[in-house]
Structure 1
């Protein structure tokens, strides 16, 4: 659905994202893992050649097809579910970058699979994610990803294929002669907002909409980050809060697909940082199972806001990458259940040990699930000196 010009521009943006997301420059001989779905093959070919021209060693891996995934989760024994191929750990300990090209041919093929099997598989990969997080904290690794339009995604989003592709083209500035220049402008504007947010001494944030009444405690030594090159597109600014201070009610009015399951109208009630009441208009049992994946799955790892002036995404896309960056009429906020992001630590990230993260209230989990609210809302910062200031209203940061 994207032509060669658009795919080459996409490659330009992804490489900008990969470089921008890393604190140290790439050098010749570095290793970058290039993962892709079959429908993203052409973009993968373009990126492989670009990486080779940079002197990078690309490791190319195609993701399993929907049938292969269905066979795996349907037939694999308990030991096969948690099997990691020989050399996988060694590869991850040597990676300097990762690019993922998401172009799913199906998003519902695992709907009949027991979610506990998928959770067991996810937990078995946490070791690899921890390795990459440590390398990223040391400035040795960065990642980025994108999504390409597919007939399956368009169908589940309720859009014609050309309209679905148009959302991607517009959101990623692929209709511009120099999309990287536009990303650099967004990156610059976001830096101004982040600096403003990070100057505040905040005790907690109060989020209010028609269905949300939630208190978020950022915690000690936190910083807002985002629009850093990690996701293409990405218009969100976010913080990983101290999960222990989360109180109140959160409602996700936007649907969400996860592990082949569609959930709608998720409502979470938090007490002392834990989601103690869970309901949903559809898929409630699946939501409850996800929150039982591990101890941290029922706690918050992320609080995020998207400014509608940045994002041109105005339709449900049946994919979290775009849905968590929804602009529309009122922008969006979203929370993520599960894993937190260490780079929202305001100090020296390389000194942030596991024990220190625990003391600061950074959440640890194999789960990371973004749930999005697109209602008209206000977010008020309650400052340490007693002052209250609105930081977000009518879909925009107020700065």
Structure 2
């Protein structure tokens, strides 16, 4: 018998290289900073590698917070209905204090226990939105922390993404894909990311310079117009803190994005990929907007979960982000549904219900108008068949993204 194929993330040297890329470039940890890592039970090996790398990079302290989805399931099954949206104050205070300390932060994405919440009452599932806390948005907007979110492969996730092969082959394939999309298969991953980031920053500047009044998405089942604010600007995922520390908030990142006018979204949009939300999978999603609000949320599976999120507060059913993804990125070319928002949103253009990023507007008057909701839920609406048009104040339409290629 031939030996069982070995996955990239079974190689300690590769895991350490991955950790160094995430810590030293993605989060760009500075000597003396506190490093916070948000992880999940099932991701211990990568978490420990990140901690080792953080201390090698001069971290003052590494604070790891593990979330256990099994405990969340127990809460949803058995807790009293009126307690499900209770969030202990110290969870929010932790992120606020990390901001006060100008800490570095890393979040690990990718489902470690896919399907664990299946079969539960979706209304109850939507009430408990942990591990997300509402304090994260204001800390991000304050730009006090240098942070990144990165995928962490697990064997259960591999089986979800590649169900038609044996578990070991699925594990090997998912690990290879993550190595590829993170550009760890290049001679110099940091140089490769700098080059890609430069390309995206240039595209963001070109779209911003057109000062469109709105974006229109047109494709199968989709005709949605999203209004923009007068000073909405597009950014690529290369941020800078108030202390001048550059970081990639998503690694990998293939998008440019902006803050839309939460009062202006009209039409129907059909998701082009499944959405994983709070441990639940939403498939076949279709949303109708009228005068900014999501007035209809339907899906083949899991609609009630998103409806519950959209009812969380006064503006949770309005948009807080519109993002464009071209066809030159590494994720979309894999033609794989990852069931992970970080990867799937960087494979296709997307919009988000909820909180907006204040750095995406240039005028304080517009900043006062952006969505301040406590949620932020991205879902993917782009594909090669979905055209993106820029709409001028006179109603004239200009192609922006066609067949995955920039037209501006």
TM beyond 0.5 = yes
Deviation string 1:186-236 (CA, Å, 9 cap, x unpaired) is: 011112111111111211122111211111111121111123211111101
Tell me the equivalent position of 1:388. Answer: 397
Give the alignment partner of residue 56 of structure 1, picking from 59, 65, 72: 59
Distance 1:109 1:278 in 2: 23
Deviation string 1:124-164 (CA, Å, 9 cap, x unpaired) is: 9645324523531xxx2121011121121122223522222
The answer as to whether partners of 1:34 and 1:100 remain within 8 angstroms in 2 is yes
Q: How many residues align?
A: 377
User: Which segment drifts farther, 79-88 or 230-239?
Assistant: 79-88
Tell me the equivalent position of 1:132. Answer: 139
Give the alignment partner of residue 286 of structure 2, picking from 267, 270, 288: 267
Distance 1:95 1:76 in 2: 36
The answer as to whether partners of 2:217 and 2:389 remain within 8 angstroms in 1 is yes
Tell me the equivalent position of 1:158. Answer: 162
Tell me the equivalent position of 1:237. Answer: 256
Distance 1:123 1:155 in 2: 24
CA 1:264–1:44: 2 relative to 1, 3 Å: closer
Tell me the equivalent position of 1:4. Answer: 12
Give the alignment partner of residue 33 of structure 1, picking from 36, 53, 77: 36
The answer as to whether partners of 1:149 and 1:164 remain within 8 angstroms in 2 is yes
Give the alignment partner of residue 152 of structure 2, picking from 134, 139, 148: 148
Distance 1:189 1:383 in 2: 25
Deviation string 1:229-259 (CA, Å, 9 cap, x unpaired) is: 1111110111110011111111103112222
Matched, 1:334 2:334: no
Tell me the equivalent position of 2:26. Answer: 17
1:308 aligned counterpart, secondary structure: coil
The answer as to whether partners of 2:226 and 2:266 remain within 8 angstroms in 1 is yes
Matched, 1:174 2:190: no
Give the alignment partner of residue 103 of structure 2, picking from 83, 87, 96: 96
* Deviation (angstroms), 1:47: 2.6
2:210 aligned counterpart, secondary structure: coil
Distance 2:74 2:135 in 1: 23
CA 1:47–1:126: 2 relative to 1, 3 Å: closer
Matched, 1:199 2:209: yes
* Deviation (angstroms), 1:68: 2.9
CA 1:60–1:126: 2 relative to 1, 3 Å: closer
2:379 aligned counterpart, secondary structure: strand
The answer as to whether partners of 1:154 and 1:161 remain within 8 angstroms in 2 is yes
Give the alignment partner of residue 82 of structure 1, picking from 66, 79, 87: 87
The answer as to whether partners of 2:43 and 2:112 remain within 8 angstroms in 1 is no
Matched, 1:324 2:340: no
Tell me the equivalent position of 1:225. Answer: 235
2:89 aligned counterpart, secondary structure: coil
Instruction: With the length of structure 1 as denominator, give the TM-score of the two structures.
Output: 0.85
The answer as to whether partners of 2:126 and 2:305 remain within 8 angstroms in 1 is no
Unaligned runs of 5+ in 1: 20-25, 327-331
CA 1:253–1:243: 2 relative to 1, 3 Å: same
Distance 1:321 1:311 in 2: 13
Tell me the equivalent position of 1:329. Answer: none
1:244 aligned counterpart, secondary structure: strand
Tell me the equivalent position of 1:111. Answer: 118
